[in-house]
Amino acid sequence: MIRSRVRTAGALALATVATLLLPACGAGSRTPQATAAQVPCEFPAPPQPVSVNVLAYNSSAVDPFTNTMVKSCTKNGLTVNHEPIDFAGQVQKTTATLAGPTGTYDILENYGFVVPTQAADGKIRPLDDLVAKYGAQYGLDQISPAMRKVMTYDGKLYALPMQAQMYVMAYRKDVFDQLGLKPPTTFAELRDVAGKIQAAGQIKYPIALPLLASSDIITAYDSALGSLGVDFVDAQTKQPNFDEPQAAQAFEELRSLLPFMDPQVATFDQPAVQQQMYNGSAAISIMFSGRMSDLTQAKNNRFAQQTAFAAPPSVAGGEALYNTLSVDGWSIPANTKADPELLFNLIAASVGPESSKAAVPAAYPAREGSVTADSSPYAAAALESIGKAPAAEPYPWTSRISNEIRPVVADVILGKTPIAEGQAKMQQLANGVLAQYP
């Protein structure tokens, strides 16, 4: 079962706030066009030349889908434009293009975490009518129903799933073998393993987690809380759960890892964690699966041959892992002036069998059967991880609560604020957000 929680929540929640936008230009992405598949992209030629601007950040997991759209659908008087951009830039431009009556972008890469907020605010278009009309043509019945559910709000589909990313643990097998260690399955085992590596004098700070205080740290807290079986908000009572014992336990468990991590960990995003694995300054990391492909490549990682993979541990031995699952997909902004049927043909073509195959192993495509246990060195770990992610919170207030409490979470994890004080503040902030949803 596929379930989705927070993905870099602090950044994604910015998609509800206005910011400056620069227009899209150019075509393709930084990743070589060799990642693009040639797929059927059929649509009536527009009566006059049309340009469609696509907003999607560049990564080895996303580029095959974007590049396929650009390559296959630029024809018959249509030009598909995609400008190279990083994740932070994509978030900022999503905010701006959805803010006004007319946007600059016609197709948006989107995330299950923010779909409910955007849908509730009328910022993106439901796609059910277009799926019904074009589903058979593009084989959309092969798109994971579970991922479609993550992109659904109030019974309507608002993003066509493209791929999912879940946490995977990468570790130095040579270090583990030398010390007789096994991949940890709980945080207690993770501390034990890290302590033994530290005591051996090989690596001073063996654990590397993305805990960037401006974004990733809220994802970490949400993953820990979810592994303990608790959501941000009780769905039945609509009351925040930050006053529950598990909310304090999640903080305690994350704090317990700090002695095994670089003191500057609050400045580390996922690329910085990758770098720690590349240069051998860490022996264990937990990141999104889309970051794993880079770890297997000798041109990036001098320890590529010594890197192994496993599902992330649970916090306290429960079924749900320290994990978060993000489903990526394509949305059509409500304020685009382009023909929605034309745009849907583009996004449906981009998630076809050919592009899905081209995206493996960097991505976990939404098209069922694309990933098998032998698809990559980390495929088995991803398959185990994806089925053990904490449950979703598909509500419009989730992203807003995450954005409000993120600074408090950072201060508590870093020891600047006592846990109980932080819990009380988070409860207050969450109640303030929920008051907007009577």
Question: In the prediction, which pLDDT does 332 show?
Answer: 98
CA distance 174 to 64: 33
Q: Give the pLDDT band of residue 227 (cuts 50, 70, 90).
A: very high
Task: Please indicate, yes or no, whether residues 347 and 416 belong to a single structural domain of this protein.
Answer: no
Range with lowest mean pLDDT among 320-324, 359-363, 409-413: 359-363
- What pLDDT does residue 193 have? 98
Per the prediction, the chain carries an average pLDDT of 90
**Cis preceding-peptide flag for 126 (omega within 30 of 0):** no
Whether residue 3 lies inside any domain: the answer is no
Enter the tokens of residue 88. Answer: 């932070």
- Domain check: are 83 and 174 in the same one? no
Two tokens at 338?
């382009």
9 in Cβ contact with 402 (< 8 Å): yes
Q: How far apart are CA 72 and CA 54, in angstroms?
A: 14
Question: What is the model's pLDDT at position 4?
Answer: 53
Nearest to 2 by CA among 156, 148, 170: 148
Residue 109: give its domain's CATH number: 3.40.190.10
What is the structure's pLDDT at 32? Answer: 44
Place of tokens 């609050």: 266
Tens of pLDDT, residues 333-369: 999 999 999 999 999 999 999 889 888 988 899 999 9
Has residue 93 been placed in a domain?
A: yes
Question: Is 76 contained in some domain?
Answer: yes
Q: Which two tokens stand for residue 212?
A: 């960037």
Q: What is the pLDDT of residue 208?
A: 98
In this prediction, residue 3 has a pLDDT band, given cuts at 50, 70 and 90, of very low
Of the candidates 199, 71, 159, which has an alpha carbon nearest to the alpha carbon of residue 394? Answer: 159
* Alpha-carbon dihedral angle through residues 378, 384, 390, 393, given to the nearest 10 degrees: 80
Residues 157 and 248 in one domain: no
Q: Residue 252 contacts by C-beta under 8 Å, 6 or more apart in sequence? A: 419
* Pair (142, 72) in one structural domain: yes
State residue 387's pLDDT score. 87
pLDDT tens digits along 325-336:
889 999 999 999
With tokens 């990141």, the residue in question is 287
Report yes or no on 1 lying in a domain: no
Residue 14 has pLDDT above 60, yes or no: no
Same domain, 225 and 178: yes
268-312 pLDDT, tens digit per residue, is 999 999 999 999 999 999 999 989 999 999 999 999 999 999 999
Asked if residue 229 and residue 211 are part of one domain, the reply reads yes
- 261 pLDDT more than 80: yes
Are both 407 and 382 inside the same structural domain?
A: no
| Residue whose tokens read 């009556």 | 101
Distance CA 347, CA 336 (A): 15
Chain centroid, CA 66 distance in Å: 17
Examine the pLDDT at 110 and tell me if it is beyond 50: yes
Q: Kindly state whether residues 270 and 414 are assigned to the same domain.
A: yes
| Domain match, 262 and 316 both | yes
Query: Is the predicted pLDDT of residue 409 greater than 50, yes or no?
Result: yes
Q: Which residues pair with 23 in a beta bridge?
A: none
Average of per-residue pLDDT across 40-45? 85
- Burial class for 342, CB neighbours closer than 10 Å (0-12, 13-18, 19+): middle
* Residues in CB range of 244: below 8 A, 6 or more apart: 230
Same domain assignment for residues 160 and 170: no
Quote the domain boundaries for residue 308.
166-324+394-434
* Lowest mean pLDDT segment, chosen from 145-149, 248-252, 407-411: 145-149
* Percent of all residues in the chain with a pLDDT value above 70, rounded to a whole number: 92
Convert the pLDDT of each residue in 305-319 to its tens digit: 999 999 999 999 999
Report d(CA 291, CA 270) in Å as an integer.
8
Residue 2 maps to a domain = no
Q: What tens digit of pLDDT does each residue of 156-168 get?
A: 999 999 999 899 9
**CA–CA dist 148, 199 (Å, integer):** 47
The pLDDT assigned to 202 comes to 83
What average pLDDT does this structure show over 38-42? 81
The residues near 47 (Cβ < 8 Å, ≥ 6 apart) are none
- Is 355 contained in some domain? yes
Q: How confident is the model at residue 5 (pLDDT cuts 50, 70, 90)?
A: low
Question: Are residue 49 and residue 174 in the same domain, yes or no?
Answer: no
For residue 29, pLDDT beyond 60: no
How many structural domains compose the chain? 2
Alpha helices in 154-313 (DSSP H): 173-179, 187-199, 216-227, 245-255, 270-279, 292-295
pLDDT for 30:
44
36-50, 390-404, 420-434, range with greatest mean pLDDT:
420-434
Q: Is residue 428 domain-resident?
A: yes
Judgement on whether residues 236 and 266 belong to the same structural domain of the protein: yes
